């Protein structure tokens, strides 16, 4: 759930829900983006901050809850409890939760490796839970790489408008978290499919006369993708590409395709490497 929460926070941030400048607040409530309780200011009630920091220079007569940020006390006082998710508190408990921080040493600048390993494990789990959907996404990547990229771009662009429409309906507001969870699941399945493709091609490059088992191909692909994601600067582009193409490939699995294996009138296709897997 922590990984899914991190993904939801990242998606929300990418849709510019967070405010650029801190907002000065004088009463409790829920705020998106960084807020500041000024010197001498007294805030009654709980203060909830999403995707930003809560800078306390005055007094808060209640709890301070921050998701996706930190609580910064500059001579202020919080009379209630302080709860932080996705900030330095989480980093101190689970060091690999966040990709960076202030307490990393010279020879271990951060824990991005463990961060990506955690994501890879989740992708592996989703592969084991949804082997059929992963195989279908792999098929789309192999035959419709360009369409997968375009579908992924459209999917990400449509994420925020769909959420806004759900808000306007009022009745469907509870479906907004479901939307982001489904996107997270789709990205993990898409990453597993991309790793399968890369791992299989890499294995066959080393062993031209042999084909790997799907699980072996997946592990090899995840290792290669993780290594690429850890490269400075380039790694960010690789991660964005995985999220783009992976989501698009999964979205295409819900589009009827007359060339799918097993569909009437479809041309014969080669056998996928490794033990047989069920296909649509």
Q: What is the pLDDT of residues 114-170, one digit of tens each?
A: 777 888 899 999 999 999 999 999 999 998 899 999 999 999 999 888 888 888 887
What is the separation of C-alpha 253 from the centre of its chain, rounded to a whole number of angstroms?
Answer: 20
pLDDT single digits (tens) 63-95? 888 877 788 888 888 988 888 865 544 444 344
Does 87 or 173 have the greater pLDDT score? Answer: 173
Token representation of residue 15: 């849709």
Return the minimum-mean-pLDDT range out of 27-41, 194-208, 264-278.
Answer: 264-278
Q: How many residues does the chain have?
A: 280
Q: pLDDT tens digits, residue range 91-113?
A: 443 443 444 444 444 433 445 66
CB atoms within 10 A of CB 41: 17
| Token representation of residue 169 | 């309906």
Residue 165 has what pLDDT?
Answer: 87
Per-residue pLDDT band for 273 (boundaries 50, 70, 90) equals very low
Cα dihedral sign for 193, 197, 198, 200?
Answer: positive
Tokens 């989740």 belong to 122
* pLDDT at 22 (0 to 100): 72
- For residues 47 and 13, the model is more confident at 47
Encoded tokens for 148:
């997968």
What's the mean pLDDT in 26-31? 83
Rounded mean pLDDT, 7-17: 43
Average pLDDT over residues 173-190: 90
**Cβ neighbours for 178, distance < 8 A, ≥ 6 positions apart:** none
Predicted confidence at residue 81, as pLDDT, reads 87
Tokens 């807020």 belong to residue: 35
| 218-258 pLDDT per residue, tens | 999 999 998 888 888 788 898 899 999 999 999 999 987 54
Q: What is the structure's pLDDT at 52? A: 80
């Amino acid at each position: 759930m922590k990984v899914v929460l991190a993904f939801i926070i990242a998606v929300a941030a990418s849709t510019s829900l967070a405010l650029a400048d801190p907002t000065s607040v004088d009463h409790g409530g829920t705020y998106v983006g960084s807020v500041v309780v000024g010197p001498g200011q007294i805030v009654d009630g709980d203060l909830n901050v999403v995707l930003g920091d809560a800078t306390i220079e005055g007094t808060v007569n209640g709890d301070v809850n921050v998701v996706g940020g930190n609580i910064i006390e500059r001579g202020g006082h919080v009379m209630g409890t302080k709860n932080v998710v996705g900030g330095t508190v989480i980093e101190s408990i689970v060091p690999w939760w966040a990709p960076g921080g202030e307490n990393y040493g010279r020879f271990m600048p951060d824990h991005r490796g463990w961060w990506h390993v955690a994501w890879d494990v989740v992708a592996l789990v989703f592969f084991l839970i949804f082997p059929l959907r992963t195989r279908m996404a792999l098929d789309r990547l192999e035959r419709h790489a360009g369409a997968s990229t375009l579908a992924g771009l459209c999917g990400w662009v449509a994420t925020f408008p769909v959420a806004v429409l759900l808000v306007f309906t009022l009745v469907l507001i509870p479906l907004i978290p479901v939307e982001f969870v489904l996107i997270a699941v789709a990205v993990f399945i898409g990453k597993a499919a991309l790793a399968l493709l890369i791992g299989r091609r890499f294995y066959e490059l080393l062993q031209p006369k042999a084909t790997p088992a799907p699980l072996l191909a997946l592990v090899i692909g995840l290792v290669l993708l993780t290594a690429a994601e850890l490269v400075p600067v380039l790694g960010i582009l690789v991660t964005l590409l995985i999220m783009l193409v992976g989501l698009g490939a999964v979205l295409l699995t819900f589009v009827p395709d007359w060339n799918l294996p097993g569909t009437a009138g479809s041309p014969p296709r080669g056998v996928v490497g490794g033990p047989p897997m069920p296909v649509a």
